[in-house]
Structure 1
Amino acid sequence: MNFLAHAYLSFGDPKVLVGNFIGDFVRGDIEHSFEKDIVIGIKLHWGIDNFTDHHFVVKEAQAILRPHYSRYSMVITDMYFDYFLARYWKNYSAKPLPEFADEVYETIDSYADILPEKFLQTFSYMKYYNWLAGYGELEGIRRAMTGMSKRTRFDSKMETAHIFLDEHHEYLKVHFGDFFEDVVSFAKGRLKELREEYGSLQT
């Protein structure tokens, strides 16, 4: 659910961005459903998720969450990392976050006719509440976590996750900084590999 990070890790390529955004909403024979640069974005998303799930810094962050949030600690960690990316956006991009967010929404809208319906439902909420630009505030995280908690099958307690974030801010901030440098390096390398594999004309 860390959409801001996936947007950032698309490195300004519109079709890769589209694929990166829908990676959690597609399965199966994607090569026959989407053009190759969108497929590259989907596979990049899957690679980023796998890298994240197995990274030792992420596991350390999840360890302090697990006693409180159990199975939902992974989802919450993703949201926390989007919070830190948004909060300290100027450290990673010269483009203002509101401008970046608007460009992402416009790009996704331009491909709406080929995107999965379930994703478009989520995307409508994302635009309406401006998730991407709002992640950097505790209120934005509270709103997102509360909305997600209403859709979980079990008692997730995610509606309290913004309080936990506030109480452990410095610890989690350090973990985000250590992890994000690694995931940027991984994503650049994986994107290069996928473009070579698919013979993409993008450079």
Structure 2
Amino acid sequence: MNYLAHAYLSFGEPKVLVGNFIGDFVRGSIEKSYEKEIVIGVKLHWAIDKYTDNHPVVKEAQEILKPEYGRYSTVITDMYFDYFLAKYWNNYHHIPLEDFVQDVYETIDSFRNVVPEKFMKTFAYMRYWDWLGGYGDLDGIRQAMTGMAKRTKFQSNLDTAHIFLDEHHEFLRLHFGDFFEDLVSHSKNKLQELKLELSPV
């Protein structure tokens, strides 16, 4: 999943949010580098990604993308799902998206001395271009995909992904709805499991 989903799936816990956001930037024995709640967030991020990658509904959505986008299908579905979460945000959260996003940015910024420097470079772009709040319309997806297309090493066709989303909107929306309900349930259970696992005996 992409960053908005990871923020949502931190369930209002600031340090879990920080860990959830840096999950792609850390490896190995993170317990020695971060406090418990951040470690929980990192491990939650990893669990979310693993669950997403193996979910049959996600795989089905990716199948219609593969003929056109090949290896980039997984990246595209992640961004599509952030699009649907942002577009239909009021169905999932009582706090307006704009307020939620600003709170996330401020929380991450308050931990800038804790998180990896490489992540902070990504975060600077994220905040400046409002990645979290900007994916809720096709133009936001177009801008994001076009930017990614310029950075890919291989032919990706990412610059047409917003058109594909528009043409297959209902199919992808239904797949997101079916999958996200499962993901929320899985993430809540995993969060509680990690809290018990990492609690001192």
TM-score normalized by the length of structure 2: 0.98
What residue is the counterpart of 2:53 in the other structure?
A: 53
1:159 and 1:78 map into 2 onto residues whose CA distance is: 16
For the residue of structure 1 that corresponds to 2:57, the secondary structure is helix
Let me know the Cα RMSD of the aligned residues.
0.9
- In the TM superposition, what is the alpha-carbon distance from 1:39 to its structure 2 partner? 0.3
Counterpart check, 1:178 vs 2:178: yes
Counterpart check, 1:112 vs 2:112: yes
Counterpart check, 1:64 vs 2:64: yes
- In the TM superposition, what is the alpha-carbon distance from 1:152 to its structure 2 partner? 1.4
What residue is the counterpart of 2:15 in the other structure?
A: 15
Structure 1 window deviating more from structure 2 (118-127 vs 38-47): it is 118-127
What residue is the counterpart of 2:147 in the other structure?
A: 147
1:117 and 1:80 map into 2 onto residues whose CA distance is: 28
- In the TM superposition, what is the alpha-carbon distance from 1:115 to its structure 2 partner? 1.2
Give the share of equivalent positions with the same residue, in percent: 69
Render the CA deviation track for 1:47-91: whole Å, top value 9, x for unaligned.
000000000000000000000000000000000000000000000
2:119 and 2:65 map into 1 onto residues whose CA distance is: 27
- In the TM superposition, what is the alpha-carbon distance from 1:153 to its structure 2 partner? 1.4
- In the TM superposition, what is the alpha-carbon distance from 1:111 to its structure 2 partner? 0.4
Counterpart check, 1:163 vs 2:163: yes
Counterpart check, 1:80 vs 2:57: no
Question: Aligned AA for 1:155?
Answer: Q
1:17 and 1:41 map into 2 onto residues whose CA distance is: 6
For the residue of structure 2 that corresponds to 1:143, the secondary structure is helix
Question: Aligned AA for 1:126?
Answer: M
Render the CA deviation track for 1:97-129: whole Å, top value 9, x for unaligned.
000000000000000111112211111111001
**In the comparison of the two structures, how many residue pairs are matched?**
200
What residue is the counterpart of 1:121 in the other structure?
A: 121
Structure 1 runs of 4+ aligned residues shifted over 4 Å read: none
1:74 and 1:133 map into 2 onto residues whose CA distance is: 21
Question: Aligned AA for 1:164?
Answer: F
Question: Aligned AA for 2:126?
Answer: M
1:145 and 1:26 map into 2 onto residues whose CA distance is: 25
What residue is the counterpart of 2:99 in the other structure?
A: 99
1:119 and 1:58 map into 2 onto residues whose CA distance is: 27
Question: Aligned AA for 2:158?
Answer: M
2:138 and 2:106 map into 1 onto residues whose CA distance is: 26
Question: Aligned AA for 1:121?
Answer: K
Question: Aligned AA for 1:156?
Answer: S
TM-score normalized by the length of structure 1: 0.97
2:35 and 2:157 map into 1 onto residues whose CA distance is: 40
Name structure 2 gaps, 5 residues minimum: none
Name structure 1 gaps, 5 residues minimum: none
- In the TM superposition, what is the alpha-carbon distance from 1:157 to its structure 2 partner? 1.1
1:179 and 1:3 map into 2 onto residues whose CA distance is: 17
1:163 and 1:117 map into 2 onto residues whose CA distance is: 35
Render the CA deviation track for 1:5-30: whole Å, top value 9, x for unaligned.
00000000000000000101111111
